[in-house]
A and B are shown apart, each in its own frame.
Chain A
């Protein structure tokens, strides 16, 4: 199991479109992946789950992955958030 904390810097937070990019990226991996905000942990591969967290700009989230490609999954998902979903929009 690998996890990493990251602060979302995207202007409007993780609203529907960036969240879609995020879960699509998560779905590329075999590992089970979760996003945790405060006390709540949701499946990173589910769109509504990620949206339910209401992640706004400046929110700190933790990405947790467990499986064969967990290292790569964390690396790429954190990169996606840190680059403000560049190359996707």
Chain B
């Protein structure tokens, strides 16, 4: 972490099939650091540059285009040149609108790339921001196993040898999907969502003590693996410790924080003979049910309270 995450502008050009209208010499070296983009209406119209963030890509849509049409050529040049003098990473024109000559002149003078898309402005901006959020997401690698169980992304954490990989194989055998074994790359794609995937080299491999490396995709088929999955639940597996109190009711919500996001988590003690795969399945379904608004522990408690209040009122009669 620590270091600033960047994405090359050329990757965006490739991903969005952008037309390069003006290409400066250093195009390949331009890195995007901001997940935000800007429509420079007020900067072009009023020359208002307070709080102008020069790390953002600037997007020119129909509104900017038609406003600039009413300016004289020299006024247009000044407006563009002013904006480009801040050293922005790129200007992107939407809707396949024509490019003003003055923009080309300013771009050449300042060495700023001018790109163009045929997409409409809002649609393109939403897609670009979503893509930047993923590409620039803070990332961390965790030792664990990520599986998808009944549609829930479950991250199994625990010491080496506690049985994470064995549980994963058992889950796959029961019809669920493996995302990553041993090393899980986790990205924070939004303020609420973590997405995990496997490092490419070891994708869909599992190490089973005593057997060795197995290729889950080859043995169980394409339906048994997935490339990425959001993380809905974290299960900490640990060897059963005598005397330690484990959760009995499930009334209290526990969370584990990864990259600043709290993910619901439980601690499951491991003991020979305990079928972990079934426990993981049930934990996943229970978590899903909670998200849908039903909490079994609360329901049980409510029933108890209701019955107790009935008893106490009949005692009074």
Contacts and interface: CB of A to CB of B under 8 A. Distances in A.
Interface in A28-58: 39-43, 45-49, 51-54
Nearest to A33: B160
Contacts of A49: 143, 182-183, 202
Interface residues of B, number: 18
A59 interface: no
A41 B202 CA distance: 15
A59 to B, nearest CB: 14
Q: Which one of A40, A42, A48, A53 has the highest number of Cβ atoms from chain B below 10 Å of its Cβ? A: A48
Nearest to A45: B160
A39 B1 CA distance: 6
A40 B141 contact: yes
A9 interface: no
A84 interface: no
B253 interface: no
Interface in B132-172: 139, 141, 143, 160
Nearest to A26: B160
Interface of A: 16, 27, 39-43, 45-49, 51-54
6 contacts: A27-B160, A39-B3, A42-B141, A42-B182, A43-B160, A48-B205
Interface of B: 1, 3, 139, 141, 143, 160, 181-183, 185, 198-199, 201-202, 205-207, 213
